Amino acid sequence: MIDLEKSIFENARQIPLVCAHRGSAAGNIPCNTLAAFKAALAQGADMIELDVALSADGRHYVFHPGMERAYLKTRAPLRAMPAKKIDRLRLYNPDGTKTQYGVPTLREALRFLRGKCYINVDKFWTDVPGISRVIRECGVEKQVVVKTGDSEKELRDVKRYASDFMFLPIVRGEDRVTDRLSAEGVNCVGAEVLFKTPGDACCSPSYIRSMHEKGRVLFVNAEVYDIRAVISAGLTDDVSVAEDPALGWGRLADLGFDIIQTDWAGLLKTYLLSQRKA
């Protein structure tokens, strides 16, 4: 179990941390809901990843922008709807049946997760000042791990509004920013890395070793959101669940990654614990 009084690097030393992608959704429980977060925690998740979307009148919701048609059966994006309308909506399960679950606000989610786990805030770049304000108002500054791309605009916003939060720049291929950000006063605790082949620079043993020597963690994605989007060289949930966990999750752990994001939190946790005992 993680200790939120310790650094994220310390917590990841024994076995990789499990990050539940949008919680654990199955059956009638949709992703990005408090019920999905509760399920993920029950399965041993150390971190919950959630997405943030804005309403037309500026309220922050936990929802993946662009997925309105899939999860809400509407073509209208949340950003075009006022909060009053969003609050009346109900999410749909994988069978296309309406559920009793509404779209939670970011405040509701952060308050629910307070003191329970790390919170990985995705889509942070959509409103760095506003999301940062909600995080502080909910008192979860020590739990959140925020991320953006490595564009100069996004990094300027992080430095201005959220330099004290644990921050992971999203790095594709080669890391050009973590050393600079740390030198500029950003609490850059590591990087989220995307790579197409095991030969990419951000997947190399020398890079991973150098990050660990600096006390930084490396976050990797095992989930598959689109089979055409290769973000972890095929070392995925699909391979791990349908074939052998050693071929996906095991290789990521052996490479030295510290946080593995997955849609199968319980299975990943069980596998990692079994390997530690072996």
The token pair at 92 is 């749909």
Query: What is residue 138's predicted lDDT score, i.e. its pLDDT?
Result: 98
Query: What is residue 277's predicted lDDT score, i.e. its pLDDT?
Result: 65
Domain boundary assignment for the chain: 14-52+109-277
Tell the CATH topology of 14-52+109-277: TIM Barrel (3.20.20)
The partner residues of 60 in beta bridges, in order of sequence, read 54
The Cβ-side half-sphere exposure at 235, using a 13 Å CA radius, reads 24
CB 30 within 8 A of CB 2: no
Q: Give residues with Cβ within 8 angstroms of 172, minimum separation 6.
A: 193, 194, 195, 202
Radius of gyration (C-alpha) of the chain in whole angstroms: 18
At residue 217, the 3 state secondary structure works out as: strand
Query: What is residue 276's predicted lDDT score, i.e. its pLDDT?
Result: 81
- Per-residue buried b or exposed e for 202-230, using 16+ beta carbons within 10 Å of the residue's own CB: bbeeebbeebbeeebbbbbbbbbeeeeee
First and final C-alpha spacing in the chain = 19
Pairing outcome for strands 47-54 and 118-122: parallel
What is the C-alpha separation between 11 and 2, in angstroms, rounded? 6
Per-residue model confidence as pLDDT tens for the chain (278 residues): 799 999 999 999 999 999 999 999 999 999 999 999 999 999 999 999 999 999 999 999 999 999 999 999 999 999 999 999 999 999 999 999 999 999 999 999 999 999 999 999 999 999 999 999 999 999 999 999 999 998 999 999 999 999 999 999 999 989 999 999 999 999 999 999 999 999 999 999 999 999 999 999 999 999 999 999 999 999 999 999 999 999 999 999 999 999 999 999 999 999 999 998 65
What is the C-alpha separation between 35 and 98, in angstroms, rounded? 15
CB 122 within 8 A of CB 50: yes
- Chain-centre distance of CA 203, in angstroms? 19
Query: What is residue 278's predicted lDDT score, i.e. its pLDDT?
Result: 57
At residue 251, the 3 state secondary structure works out as: helix
Sign of the C-alpha dihedral, residues 250, 252, 258, 264?
A: negative
- Per-residue buried b or exposed e for 173-182, using 16+ beta carbons within 10 Å of the residue's own CB: eebebbeebb
**Which residue's entry shows tokens 């990789």?**
16
